[in-house]
């Protein structure tokens, strides 16, 4: 099966091959990912120059609004304390926008996307295997040691984000495969379930709580969407058994879950509560425009800690919450512009739900990416910086794929030829 999938690489266009490379670039680190984003941006700009009609994409409301958001942050950054990092981050947002536009404009059809998805699925299996390997031998398959703290990171070195990497890519893949699950042979169904459990336990071993919650919640939502309540209840019981087993037999998982429950029982006095407090204080002092992108880390250290006796740190590199990051760094004006952008994009993507093609795995893959976008903006969760390379790349990757698939399925000429 694997050889067959890789033989289909010959069918890919150059631009499709570039999209295929995205997860591999993420695995290689921020430097390679940024080079990749710059590279695809150059191809997009080159296409604008050669085919001037493609410039019409900039008449799309959501594109114009996000460009306005970028320009707003550039102007805002000029008056911030750390002008260099504010402008670098603000101007750098163009690479994310161009990444989505590259996917939407330069990928001419989605007939080969299923082969790309299957290769990404193999990447997830590789990273999951590597997490098990690193957990057992304390180094991964290329010799990278387990980071301090005993949480497997796979190819990411000291950054414990392998669980997030898996969840962001694997959730849409679940939607891709689950649509035809009931029609598969029993042996195939068993294989799917075993593979899922294999990946799920790998995320548990990373100790990353949010990716585990994302994977669990998304899986249950997928079962609810495609199946019935009885099957949802069965799957929920299976998850409960897995959680109880992991909690009782994995010390790291137990300690991480206990810590999360402790935080939830008293958020204000937790380490998260302290960072949220500093973020909100910065927002109150700069409620209209914020302090500028990447300036929370600078301005926070200048604040007077209202609880200096508290053992948890008052400041961090970023607010660890999507809404508080927007409020503290871009203010109410920035939040307002970004909210319009999100509304326009999500209003467009809700059309995916209305499409009566539940047996179309590519359409369902787009739904999975739409769910990832919803998870990104969910206000009551901890999160990495939205404007960072790792998190930003996945958001715009999911956005580009969702809009690409929606546009191609709605295209009547293309729709007649889509046979999956």
The pTM for the full model equals: 0.91
Question: Looking at the domain assignment, is residue 84 inside a domain?
Answer: no
Is 1's pLDDT higher than 80?
no
Q: Which two tokens stand for residue 305?
A: 């800690």
Domain that holds residue 189: 2-59+107-265+350-415
Question: Looking at the domain assignment, is residue 19 inside a domain?
Answer: yes
Question: Looking at the domain assignment, is residue 31 inside a domain?
Answer: yes
Question: Looking at the domain assignment, is residue 76 inside a domain?
Answer: no
Mean pLDDT over residues 212-219, rounded? 90
Q: Which residues pair with 139 in a beta bridge?
A: 145
Question: Looking at the domain assignment, is residue 409 inside a domain?
Answer: yes
The residue with greater pLDDT, 180 or 292, is 292
- pLDDT single digits (tens) 26-63: 999 999 999 999 999 999 988 877 776 566 677 789 99
Is 417's pLDDT higher than 80?
no
Q: How many domains does the chain have?
A: 1
Is 420's pLDDT higher than 50?
no
The residue with greater pLDDT, 384 or 296, is 296
Q: Which two tokens stand for residue 289?
A: 């425009």
Question: Looking at the domain assignment, is residue 101 inside a domain?
Answer: no
- pLDDT single digits (tens) 255-271: 878 777 877 778 888 88
Q: How confident is the model at residue 414 (pLDDT cuts 50, 70, 90)?
A: very low
DSSP string, 85-134: HHHHHHHHHHHHHHHHHHHHHH---STTHHHHHHHHHHHHHHHHHHHHHH
Cα 256 to its chain centre, rounded Å, is: 22
- pLDDT single digits (tens) 285-300: 999 999 999 999 999 9
- pLDDT single digits (tens) 76-104: 999 999 999 999 999 999 999 999 999 99
pLDDT confidence of residue 419: 42
Is 14's pLDDT higher than 80?
yes
Question: Looking at the domain assignment, is residue 379 inside a domain?
Answer: yes
* CA–CA dist 164, 135 (Å, integer): 17
Non-local (6+) Cβ contacts of 235 within 8 A are: 219, 220, 223
């Amino acid at each position: 099966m694997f050889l067959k999938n890789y033989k289909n690489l010959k069918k890919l266009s150059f631009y499709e091959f570039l999209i295929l490379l995205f997860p591999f670039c993420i695995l290689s680190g921020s430097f390679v990912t940024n080079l990749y984003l710059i590279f695809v941006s150059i191809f997009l700009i080159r296409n604008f120059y050669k085919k001037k009609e493609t410039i019409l994409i900039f008449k799309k409301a959501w594109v114009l609004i996000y460009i306005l958001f970028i320009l707003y942050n550039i102007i805002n950054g000029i008056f911030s304390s750390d002008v260099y990092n504010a402008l670098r981050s603000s101007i750098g947002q163009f690479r994310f926008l161009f990444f989505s536009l590259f996917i939407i404009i330069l990928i001419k059809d989605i007939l080969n996307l299923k082969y790309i998805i299957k290769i990404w699925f193999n990447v997830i299996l590789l990273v999951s295997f590597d997490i098990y390997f690193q957990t057992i031998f304390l180094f991964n398959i290329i010799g990278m040691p387990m980071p301090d703290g005993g949480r497997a990171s796979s190819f990411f070195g000291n950054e414990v984000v392998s669980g997030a990497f898996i969840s962001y890519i694997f959730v849409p893949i679940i939607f891709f495969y689950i649509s035809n699950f009931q029609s598969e042979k029993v042996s195939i169904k068993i294989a799917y379930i075993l593979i899922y459990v294999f990946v799920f336990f790998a995320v548990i071993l990373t100790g990353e709580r949010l990716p585990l919650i994302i994977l669990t919640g998304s899986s249950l939502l997928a079962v609810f969407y495609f199946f019935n309540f009885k099957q949802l209840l069965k799957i929920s019981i299976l998850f409960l058994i897995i959680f109880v087993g992991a909690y009782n037999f994995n010390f790291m998982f137990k300690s991480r879950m206990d810590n999360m429950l402790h935080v939830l029982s008293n958020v204000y006095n937790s380490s998260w509560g302290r960072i949220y407090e500093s973020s909100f204080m910065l927002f109150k002092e700069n409620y209209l425009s914020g302090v500028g992108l990447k300036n929370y880390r600078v301005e926070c250290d200048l604040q007077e800690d209202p609880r200096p006796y508290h053992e948890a740190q008052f400041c961090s590199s970023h607010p660890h919450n999507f809404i508080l990051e927007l409020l503290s760094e871009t203010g109410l004006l920035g939040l307002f512009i970004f909210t319009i952008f999100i509304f326009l994009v999500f209003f467009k993507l809700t059309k995916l739900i209305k499409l009566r093609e539940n047996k179309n795995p590519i359409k369902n893959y787009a739904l999975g990416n739409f769910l990832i976008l919803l998870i990104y903006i969910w206000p009551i969760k901890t999160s990495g910086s939205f404007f960072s390379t790792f998190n930003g790349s996945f958001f715009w990757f999911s956005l580009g794929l969702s809009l690409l698939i929606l546009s191609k399925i709605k295209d009547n000429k293309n729709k007649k030829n889509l046979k999956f």
